[in-house]
A = this chain, B = another copy of it.
Amino acid sequence: MQSTPVKRPGMIVHEQEPYNAEPPRAALAEHVITPVETFYGRNHGTIPRLDATSWRLRIDGLVEQPVELSLDELQTRFAHHEVTATLQCAGNRRAGLMAYRDIPGQHPWGAGATSTAVWRGVRLADVLTAAGLAPGATDIAFEAPDIAPEAEPTQAYGGSIPTIKATAPEVLLAWEMNGEPLSTAHGAPVRVVVPGFIGARSVKWVERITAQDRPSQNFFQQGAYRLLPADTDTERIQAGDGVALGPVALNSEILTPDDGEHLAAGPVVVTGYAFAGDDREVVRVDVTADGGATWVQADLEAQPSPWSWRFWHTSLHVPAGPVQITARAWDSTAAVQPEHPATVWNPKGYINNSWPTVTVTVVADNDLRDAESPEGS
């Protein structure tokens, strides 16, 4: 196992080691299926380079018969399935919370700690059936070999999902991403893909799957990725405090124009994504450029799959000068995103699903020409 140098041009790198990076808004906006080189990377430890030929997956715990599978066995013993799914880091859009109130020691993720890919592999359900789930197996835990120095105590990365989700047809053990073999950075040889759940549960480089009668006791299930009340004394957090995050809350972002962009006069094309986890669907996105006095319903683009985000776009007439553009999405339960970061703020900065905003400046034609051609015309 050794570190893999990661070089991805055009990414916003929050940390080089462990590697944590997201694409800029404009890059994310280009493709509804995110290219592998643009897909965000969220790691808690050094990226492990595993040898696919010696890699084994162990399935144990509350099962009738523990199973150990090589990659070849995994690929030949079970039917192959494909799912187009959005992964979204629980820390996505944290920067918006930090602007309201600082969150020390956490990456200031922008709009891009989320991406969508076509995943191919076998159903976790089929593998669990082969091992035979025993009664009382309420949770399925995953373990990987990447050591996370931030964990208390230091330990390899892990997490779990409820058995009812683990046995749903959309959950895969995947070795392919967008038609290519999974890259080392994204979990080769095999990763878990849990569509509709926070990205943290889609454990990369998975080596062990344990059926058990409680959630994983791993730090990243019990100590991190939990929603804590805003007034939590962060010096006194105990394992198990707050609520473990799983299904993703309704969320959205504006991808173009970019925050801070200067635009020519005329209609402004606004684009973005919206996503609702698990069995919820995005049904509507509103956009305003006048502080909410009027809202325009955006056009929703086709959703590649029930497990993916939905791109949207609209065109707004915006007066010259600086203007704030704000969006908000509704899901199929008729829920709408909460308005303020203040409502959502929490000590670890997870699940910022308050209304996204960008501030742009619309420049009168002459001014823009002047700006582009400093010599004047």
Looking across the interface, which residue of chain B has its beta carbon closest to that of A350?
A: B334
Q: Considering the chains assembled together, what is the distance between the CA atoms of A95 and B338 in angstroms?
A: 20
Interface string of A227-238 (1 = CB under 8 A from B): 101110000000
The answer, yes or no, to whether A82 is at the interface (CB within 8 Å) is no
Residue A30 is within 8 A (CB to CB) of chain B in the complex: no
Residues of B within 8 A of A294 (CB): 231
Distance to closest chain B CB from A105 (angstroms):
20
Q: Are A243 and B334 in contact (CB under 8 A)?
A: yes
A227 touches B278 (CB 8 A): no
CB < 8 Å neighbour of A247 from B245, B280, B286: B280
Contact A278 B337 (CB under 8 A): no
A229 nearest in chain B by CB position: B297
Q: What is the minimal beta-carbon distance from A97 to any residue of chain B, in angstroms?
A: 12
A244-260 vs B, CB cutoff 8 Å, 1 = contact: the mask equals 01111110000000000
Q: Is A284 part of the contact surface with B, judged by Cβ < 8 Å?
A: yes
Question: Interface with B: A2-10, A176-184, A325-333, which one?
Answer: A325-333
Chain B residues within 8 Å of A344, by CB: 336
Q: Which of B278, B339, B350, B353 is A279 in contact with, Cβ under 8 Å?
A: B278
Contact A335 B243, CB 8 Å, known A230-B295, A328-B343, A343-B328:
no
Q: Quick one: which of B229, B246, B297, B343 contacts A284, CB cutoff 8 A?
A: B229
User: At the interface, is chain A mostly helix, strand, loop or mixed?
Assistant: loop
Contact of A278 among B248, B295, B333, B339 (CB under 8 A): B333
- Neighbour of A332 across the interface among B247, B333, B343, B350, CB < 8 A: B247
The size class of the interface chain A forms with chain B is 35 or more
* Cβ of A257 to closest chain B Cβ, rounded Å: 24
Q: Which residues of B contact A243 (CB under 8 A)?
A: 283-284, 330, 332, 334
A238 to chain B, nearest CB (A): 15
Contact call A333/B249, Cβ cutoff below 8 A: yes
How far, in angstroms, from A286 to B340 measured CA to CA in the complex? 16
Query: Which chain A residues (179-217) contact chain B, with CB distance < 8 Å?
Result: none
Partner of A340, one of B249, B277, B284, B339: B339
Q: Could you tell me the distance in whole angstroms from the C-beta of A335 to the nearest C-beta in chain B?
A: 4
Asked whether, in the complex, the Cβ of B339 is within 8 Å of the Cβ of A229, the reply is no
Q: Does A351 contact B (CB under 8 A)?
A: yes
A278 to B279, alpha carbons, bound, how many Å?
9
Q: In the complex, A230→B230 CA distance in Å?
A: 32
Residues of chain B contacted by A353 (CB below 8 angstroms): 334-335
Residue of B nearest to A227 (CB): B334
Q: How far is the CB of A306 from chain B (nearest CB, A)?
A: 10
Q: Nearest residue in B to A278 (C-beta to C-beta)?
A: B279
| Interchain CA distance A336-B346 in the complex, whole Å | 12
List CB contacts (< 8 Å) of A251-310 with chain B: 277-280, 283-284, 286, 294-295, 297
Check B343 against A336 for contact (C-beta < 8 Å).
Answer: yes
Given contacts A278-B279, A279-B278, A339-B343, contact A286 B334 (CB under 8 A): no
For residue A333, give the distance in angstroms from its CB to the closest CB of chain B. 4
Listed by A's residue number, 30 A-B pairs whose Cβ atoms lie within 8 Å are A227-B334, A229-B284, A229-B286, A229-B297, A231-B294, A231-B295, A243-B283, A243-B284, A243-B330, A243-B332, A245-B334, A247-B279, A247-B280, A247-B333, A248-B333, A249-B333, A249-B335, A250-B335, A277-B333, A278-B279, A279-B279, A333-B351, A334-B350, A334-B351, A334-B353, A335-B338, A336-B343, A338-B338, A339-B339, A339-B340
A residues neighboring B (CB under 8 Å): 227, 229-231, 243, 245-250, 277-280, 283-284, 286, 294-295, 297, 328, 330, 332-340, 343-344, 350-351, 353
